[in-house]
Structures are given as structure tokens and as C-alpha cells.
Structure 1
Amino acid sequence: MTVVKTEVQSIALTVKHIALHRVRVPLKEPFRISNGSIDEKDSILIEITTDKGVTGWGEASPMTGSFYSNDTPEGAWRALREQLIPLALEEKRINAPRFFERLREVPGEAFAKAGLEGALWDAYARSLGAPLHELFGASSKPIPSGVAIGIYDTVDELIERVGRYVGEG
């Protein structure tokens, strides 16, 4: 099924329930930058259930302790609970473009808003029985990705780590 832009503009969902799940995923090795080090990724999974039983998932994943932005997992959780989820649930039917404009009116909390938006897009795609990439007019080809390399104690350690990642592809 190919979804066209006009269909995306007219999609509306009735959201019955939104659940938040806090997860902590251990990293393979600590990640260190100038203002701190972490050894686990603290994320919030957002689960949206529609009136038709369709479930959509999103992730809000700011780093712990204002690692590289002012957003934190605690702040994202609070924003979702106190502002964003009530905003979504007060809508009778959520139309994607209009609702995302309303999200932009809420100051800050970019990670929380992105997670909720991701869950809604996932629910929209699943309700249409189409892959999410089709809603965006993208291909299903793999997308090359990189790796973030933190600070190491010595240049030799850094070179070794870069070499290992290059070797892994």
C-alpha cells in the first residue's frame, strides 16, 4: 500500500490510552564527554492505544543529568504526564498535522514531544497497515549509521577504539 500526502493530511485517530514505560539499558562500555560519564541509557517508551486496538510506540530519550541538553528523563516524564499526554487525550480525534502544531506551542521538552510524536506516527502507520517509511515518502533501504566516540584517557586508547569500530564496519 502506498500512502499519499493527502491521506496523511486526513488521518485522524482516537487515542484511548497512553502508557509510559521507563527503561534503563546498560551500555557496552561507559560513554564519557567533558561534563560526565554514563554507563546506561535511561529512556521513556511511550505506548499509545487507539479505539481500534492499534498500538503505536515512541521513545523519549534525553540523557541523564542534562548530559548534552537541558532535557532530562525526569523532566521528560513530568512533561509527558502533566502536559503532553493530557493534551493528546483531550482531543476527540487526533489529526497529525494539526496536533503536531499544538505540540509546538508547548515550550521546551523536545525529547518528550518527539517521543509522543513518534508513537502517534507509528499508530497512524499501523492503522493504515503501511510501513512508517511510506507515510514519509521514503524508501525501505537501509540507512548508514555512525557511532559516537567519547573521551578516552590517551590518544592511543582513542585510536584503538576508532580502529575497532572501523573494523566492525
Structure 2
Amino acid sequence: MKPGETGLPIESSETQITLYTALYQQLVEARVELEGERARLDKLRETIEQARGELEVAEAKLAQSMERRQVELLMEGVSEGYLLAHTNYTNAERAQALDFSYLTAVGNPVPPETPIKPRTMLNTAIAGVLGVFVGVGLALFLEYFESYKTRQSSMGLTR
């Protein structure tokens, strides 16, 4: 083969021009489409940057909102503490304002000369008397109940 030959059949110059024109037209269309896609890409990048800015603003607002809520909770706690302290203070002032002039001390308190302790003999005697009364009462009740059952059975009223 000679240099410059491709081994393909030689076409007419008119066919080559038509082919060249078609290929050039496709190239132009591809470049236009490429420019359109680049413009679209630039617009998407701008949109992404704008969205990032809006996201940063939203995050800042969220952080500020959370901070505000924490401050509000702290203020509620402090306010409740203040109200409790104020109520206690008001009650203390009222207690001081009460007039206790109608109360008078008869005399100074005197400590006992001998220590006070339980009287075991008296307590034991009282317990014994109560025990006897309870025992007699129980015996009388049992006697009454026994006679009641006997009367019922003699009349034939029991099962």
C-alpha cells in the first residue's frame, strides 16, 4: 500500500463533503449539548451551594432554638425555686406577725427531782385485773353459746 491509502474504497468528493458536513453538524450539536450540560451543571452547583447555605442557616437556628429551650427550662426551675422561697418567706412573716400576747407563762419550768420511770407493779396489777375480766367474760360467752346450741338441737333446728 502506498502512503496515505487506507485500503477503503475512494468515495467521491461530493460524498466526502456530505459526510464531512454531517460529521461537523454532529460535532456542533454535541458542543451545543455539552455547553447546555455545563450550564446545567453550573446551575446545579449554584443550587447545591445555596442549599448548603440554607442548611447552615437552619442548623444555626436549630442550635439557637435548642439553646433557647435549655434557657427556658433553667428559668422554669429557677422560677419554681423562687416561688417556693417566696412562699416560705411569706409564711414566716405571717408567723412572726401573729399575736401571742394572750399566752402567758405561769411559771418557769422545773425539772423533776427524781427520774420518771414506768411503775411496773401498777402496770402488772392492772394487766392481771384486765386478764381476769376478759377470762370471766369469755367463760360466760362460751357457756351461753353452749346452752344456745343445746336448746337448738333439742328443738331440732340444727342440721
Pair in the same fold by TM > 0.5: no
TM-score when scaled to structure 1? 0.15
Higher relative contact order (CA 8 A, sep 6+): 1
Q: Which has the higher helix share?
A: 2
Higher relative strand content: 1
Question: TM-score if structure 2 supplies the norm length?
Answer: 0.16
